[in-house]
Amino acid sequence: MEIAPGAFHLHRRLTLEDQRALVAECRALVDGPVPAYVPVVRGGGRMHVRMLCLGRHWNGKTYAYEPTRSDFDDLPAPPLPAAFRRVAETLAREVGMPFAPDLCILNYYDADGRMGLHQDKDEAERSLAAGLPVVSLSLGDTARFLFGGLKRKDPVEARRLESGDAFVFGGPARLRYHGVSRIEPGTAPRELDLEGRFNLTFRQYDVD
């Protein structure tokens, strides 16, 4: 389960029933009153996912969190659903990490979706210093997940994250580089009736 100090891969942790409930809520959110969109990041590049931030919005142009989507439509970030929060807290607790998530980035990957190597380092300094984890949930098609070191040039391990998998990294692994190189179309469980992949990544912006 622990693939590196502070990094845990929980294979098929969620039941199909749990996955169906989460997928239904994800669908309602990404096509809801504050819909998911394709962000344009610093430098003008377009991301290869549709993104919706819950609890707090991540601005791809400033690399900072904010209450409204000032880089897109100025709408407020929708609240983080209580059911989402409970799942993330449970997963972090199972690997022995304290966690009170207050934001989630919900990304939808289609067959061409991907995410370059990056660090999650835009939370408050106290949260990063405490090593509070990132909790990631995969729903739908399998992703080829890349997990590197603390420097961009460090060796990278590729892992398949399947539907229902959770990946938690905190403590000494909190600032390790990671990304998604590709999606494997048609690998989602048939029971989900889902093409593509939803990924939910939870964070705690600051320490109380």
Q: What is the pLDDT of residues 107-137, one digit of tens each?
A: 999 999 999 999 999 999 999 999 999 999 9
Q: Is the pLDDT of residue 174 over 90?
A: yes
The answer to whether residue 208 sits within a structural domain is: no
The answer to whether residue 152 sits within a structural domain is: yes
The answer to whether residue 23 sits within a structural domain is: yes
- State mean pLDDT over 203-207: 97
- State mean pLDDT over 11-26: 98
- DSSP 8-state code for residue 13: -
The answer to whether residue 58 sits within a structural domain is: yes
Are 168 and 91 in contact by the 8 Å Cβ rule? The answer is yes
Q: Is the pLDDT of residue 151 over 90?
A: yes
**b or e along 30-65 (b: 16 or more beta carbons within 10 Å of the residue's beta carbon)?**
beeebebbebeeeeeeebbbbbbbbbbbbbbeeeeb
Number of domains in the chain: 1
Helix (H, G, I), strand (E, B) or coil at 9: strand
Angle (nearest 5°) at CA 54 between 52 and 59: 60
The answer to whether residue 9 sits within a structural domain is: yes
Question: CATH number, domain at 182?
Answer: 2.60.120.590
Confidence of residue 83 (pLDDT cuts 50, 70, 90): very high
State which residues form the domain around 133.
2-203
Are 99 and 185 in contact by the 8 Å Cβ rule? The answer is no
Are 181 and 156 in contact by the 8 Å Cβ rule? The answer is no
The pTM of the full predicted model, rounded to 2 decimals, is 0.97
* pLDDT score for 208: 79
Q: Is the pLDDT of residue 157 over 90?
A: yes
- State mean pLDDT over 163-190: 98
